[in-house]
A and B are shown apart, each in its own frame.
Chain A
Amino acid sequence: MTTADGFAKVELSIGLSLAIPLLFAVLSLAHSFSKADERAQSAVSAKGQLEDTFDRIQRLLTSASWGSLRVPAEAGSEDGGDISWTYPRGRARTSAIRFESMVDVMPGEDTGQILTLRFVRERGEKPDDQDNDGDGLVDEGRVQFEIGPDSARAVSLVQQVEACSFLIADGVVTIAMKVAVPGPERRIERAGQRRSVWLRNP
């Protein structure tokens, strides 16, 4: 069976029977590493989105001013009067807060704007812990800034938010937020965090 210048059939068949499962194992491992890497990227993306959003909110909230604003009516004008932009007080958990920003919301914007930070659920989604619109995300919406006392302009801050709430107590706003990022194979990577911001300028 053995030849002088090569492998015997038996040797080749034993070699192949060992090499093929090993090759499959290596390929399968490489595939699972690649999937794990994609999932890790989605998870990092979700965390990054969350951190970035919190940082932007914190920048505005740290110097926010709360209270009642009195806008004196100008002579001959129907505009003016008391505008209350502070709500809510107490320990209620809420989906919106309103404050006066002491820094610019966006580059080029005036400071001292009245802002409402609000969680708005997407159309087609209800707060029922179900994925109503079939996109894999549960009860999702966006967090947006509404600029002006009448919320005339809305600027979306972050999308794919599954939950967001604000709790105001003793000069500290605690924000709880969960974001979700679709990953490979319809897998959703989620990140959630609670952050407390002390209002330095209440």
Chain B
Amino acid sequence: MIAAIVAGTALGALASVLIGQAHVSDLDREVELAFRAVKNALEEARATPVSRLYELDGAGFAIDSIEEGRGGLASLDNDADKLPGSLSVTLVEQDGDHVIYRVTARADWKGKTRARSFALESLVSRRYR
């Protein structure tokens, strides 16, 4: 009886560790996908002329994977455009022609275990060549 209880507890602990490890691995992959997509979105935002940067406010972007057999990230149920990525652009400072915008690229997705989010932001100004 005692042996059965000990064995059951050990098996339960082992199963819990394995399940936890699988969840960490899924989360690791999800965050990596989100990080890369958000970085790419910021890079594309930087390429947009500053005069048109405001047009990106509220724009969504997909977060997909090019690895076979592995899908991208799914948007949250209440996401209007059904795209897990979104950009927001806010004016930080304006002095004549000199403007500074804060661009935030954000990922909100339905993770394997629960909803997750990740965001990066960057200040963007006019480039003088």
Contacts and interface: CB of A to CB of B under 8 A. Distances in A.
Contact of B44 (A29, A193, A196, A200): A196
Interface of B: 3, 14, 36, 39-40, 43-44, 46-48, 65-68, 127
Interface string A180-202: 00000000001111111111100
B40 A178 contact: no
B68 A198 contact: no
A178 B66 contact: yes
Secondary structure at the A interface, as helix, strand, loop or mixed, is strand
B36 A193 contact: yes
The 10 A-B pairs at the shortest CB distance, nearest first, are namely: A196-B40, A198-B47, A192-B66, A192-B67, A196-B43, A171-B47, A172-B47, A198-B43, A198-B46, A172-B44
A170 B14 CA distance: 52
28 contacts: A18-B3, A29-B14, A163-B66, A170-B47, A170-B48, A171-B47, A172-B43, A172-B47, A174-B40, A176-B66, A178-B66, A178-B67, A190-B67, A190-B68, A192-B65, A192-B66, A192-B67, A193-B66, A194-B36, A194-B66, A195-B40, A196-B39, A196-B40, A196-B44, A198-B43, A198-B46, A198-B47, A200-B127
A49 B36 CA distance: 16
Contacts, number: 40
Nearest to B41: A196
A33 B94 CA distance: 58
B39 to A, nearest CB: 8
Contact of A198 (B14, B44, B65, B67): B44
A62 to B, nearest CB: 10
Contacts of A190: 67-68
Contacts of B47: 170-172, 198-199
A191 B36 CA distance: 13
Given A170-B44, A170-B48, A174-B40, 8 more contacts: A163-B66, A178-B67, A190-B67, A192-B65, A192-B66, A194-B36, A195-B40, A196-B39
A18 B44 CA distance: 62
A194 B67 contact: no
